[in-house]
Chain A
């Protein structure tokens, strides 16, 4: 069981306290109605599936309840870093 560092609690906790919430840094468009069909499709459905570094969102759902961002290696399953929502991409 992986240990994940929650940047809000500033503690490493077992992964069962957390829930994955998909790829990170996909901002909802400010004006969705102004988006073309193609752009909206990309926002809704198109996701990266990298081999290696992957930016994703996690929620400390059975802890502080906060969403945060993480860089995880999809090959080794190791977390490189975690950081608060709203902070720049690492």
Chain B
């Protein structure tokens, strides 16, 4: 034996040495090793520091239930993964792993002082201690706790890897490819079922990988499954969650085991819909609870067997077994036969099967029945154990370098529980097993409980002569919960396991209590003197093991996080230096700065251009709905506040849409193209919502109406041409439409051609100037825009963005739904009662306008605000008070909704929602801001051209 590598055995490739690093030291392992087995082979026992007490910790398990040996793997910038279980990290050339939760080094850790101060950190320590003084929380407690908290370090650089995702469908999904899972696959292989077989390890086999006698069977089975065309095998894949209707989430790890990450996806998220699910998750061995059971070198008996038979690694040279279950004896016999030195078998039971005694005798192993380990010598590794007789506590010492725990078996019911299958308690196993399914699922093998685990005793804490309140016997290794913490919780009055769990944090670490839940339950059961089923069971929730954010996010990051909608004219704006903003999912040009211009200079120039000559604006994002059918006018009449039936074809109307509660939800100008056809527009952000609302009423309230609704938002590019010269720019390009004021008045629509393209031409204005909105099929948007730019050059046509659009509309007192309204504003509050058809018998929201709260005085109403200092531009959202001298906290009577510098007016303008605002015209209000309280007077909403003289030209 060189180091701890056994001379023979294991599935590692002894001809393939692999160099890797752990905490800066170079080691050699073998192809097929995990980080855990390779380090154990090198005699490394110390893997990390515990979460709370910073106690030295080694390996507890050999699989994904490992709570202690969490490491970080560093593959270069952005490829830093913390909190990986060393038992699941496959080594490869150049692997660079580091331990966690220690400073300055793993062996000399400053935080270990917490262990000496352990008596000051009982269960509920945080809740009890950091209550006072209150002022200490922000400056002292929270920073200190944050410094200490957490396991590994979060990566700081952006992850350069990408992550794939896929959907899959199958008739049969098998989770777990141990003997039971493989049998299930073989049993269905010859049907025409599509089968997916998933296993988290790098090869199929599960428990069979640690049983060389099964390897020939395993090889035959593996080949048969690979050859079966209807079987998909996914290794290195963790089924992490079981969701409704047999929907299973799984993550496949593609590159972490490779020496170079490569260009492919690092991981792949599988969303699998299965007809039937077979769970073959196996079972997890339980630790035993005794003082020093967390010393590096104390581990599960089954883990030691796996290290020896699968990896060819001895976990010690003089190994002691502490058993409460027969399985530990069999493990030790296998270890002895593999060449591992066995110092003794200790069993808490008074007697065991005579066959076990005979085999121990034959192998020359000393046996101590009715004994318990009461202490472990050694801090960074095991040197000896103290054992005692359970009756008279007569103690003795046994020198050893590893202690194996055989506490019995816990069927893995995690995914079964995700699926909401019920559980039943089995006294003989001391564990819960699956009972009634809630989906089309069944459990096979160890996780079903229907498995020969052998005989064992179910025990909470090993007998000891020591004072139970003074020893640290660990239950939850990852969260540092001891038996005395659980007893303390019970003493302090906690009765339900859900409360005990949250108070002690037992089972709340990243391993979700895979090795601790049942021991915690047993201890609580004894302390409460109640059977376990009366205390309950905590819930298992996805994920089964921690998964990367990358896998769950997949491609949905950066530019692909959500789609950006762009108009046909967007590319022109981009090429002409537009600064963009996102409006809902649309990317819109905010302003078009010329060189040296900041936003304010650009917006001022754009506004002045519209007022003095002509501006051009991409309004394609406006929501558009085509409403068609004999009852179209009747339908709109019922939806909108305005009357629609008398609107003549060729004319437009401003429409105001309420929800049934009477509050404004959307608005827009709509046109009647024909008696049975309307072209509606909605706000940019409201298009989908409005269509949904209209469909709702049409389908479910008024199915008798003969109307069709079609979204046409993306079918039309819309170009707004605004300003006194707009007609002159447009005229030469339009065919078939008389643009004169008499033939084509404000709020009219005409159909014709522009630049040879069919157009729906609106004469409308959101600026207060003579204006047109040119609708052309989307694909022609940019072409028509460029023709208009060329045609308008003689008038210095100026493209303007959403910011100038906002200023221009505010100068005219036009509101923006969602900015100047907030879901609690009625038409009357917004000063839009003129848009409400008083004679209409009904429309959506009409009845609510008479609700007591709506007609009560003191509602917030939309008003204009003019600051006394015309140069002060108020902040949108700023709160308003009536009396600035009142004591703090002041009574807020409203807030600013829109606020701009108006270059046209040479002063600032604002809108505000103010309680009783309509009665306050001319009143002085105050807007307290940091450092200064601004003074403003209430005005009307229309600041520019109140007669509308500029519109009707």
Contact = CB atoms under 8 A, between A and B. Distances in A.
9 contacts: A1-B247, A2-B244, A3-B273, A33-B841, A33-B847, A44-B848, A67-B700, A77-B244, A85-B700
Range of interface residues on A (Cβ < 8 Å): 20 to 34
A35 B847 CA distance: 8
Contact of A65 (B244, B438, B695): B695
Among B271, B696, B700, B850, find the residue whose CB has the most chain A CB atoms closer than 10 A. Answer: B700
Contact of A57 (B243, B700, B847): B700
A2 B245 contact: yes
B74 to A, nearest CB: 36
A59 B841 contact: no
Interface in B259-288: 271, 273
B417 to A, nearest CB: 14
A86 B700 CA distance: 7
A90 interface: no
Given A32-B842, A40-B851, A65-B695, A76 B701 contact: no
Interface residues of B, number: 25
Given A67-B696, A67-B700, A40 B244 contact: no
B846 interface: yes
Contacts of A33: 841-842, 846-847, 850
A51 interface: no
A68 to B, nearest CB: 9
B692 interface: yes
Interface string B152-169: 000000000000000000
9 shortest A-B CB distances, which residue pairs? A32-B847, A2-B244, A3-B245, A1-B247, A67-B699, A28-B701, A85-B700, A67-B700, A33-B847
Interface string A3-41: 100000000000000010100000110011101010011
Interface in A36-90: 37, 40-41, 44, 57, 59, 61, 65-67, 76-77, 85-86
Interface of A: 1-3, 19, 21, 27-28, 31-33, 35, 37, 40-41, 44, 57, 59, 61, 65-67, 76-77, 85-86
A66 B699 CA distance: 8
Contacts of A76: 420, 438
B563 interface: no
Nearest to A3: B245
Nearest to B703: A86
Given A1-B244, A67-B699, A40 B842 contact: no
Interface of B: 243-245, 247, 271, 273, 420, 438, 660-661, 692, 695-696, 699-701, 703, 841-842, 846-848, 850-852
B94 to A, nearest CB: 40
Contacts of B438: 76
Given A1-B244, A67-B696, A67-B700, A40 B420 contact: no
Contacts of B700: 57, 67, 85-86
B842 to A, nearest CB: 6
Given A21-B696, A40-B851, 7 more contacts: A2-B244, A2-B245, A28-B660, A32-B842, A33-B846, A37-B851, A85-B699
Contacts of B699: 66-67, 85
A32 B420 contact: no
Contacts of B703: 85-86
B355 to A, nearest CB: 48
B700 to A, nearest CB: 5
A44 B696 CA distance: 15
A37 B852 contact: yes
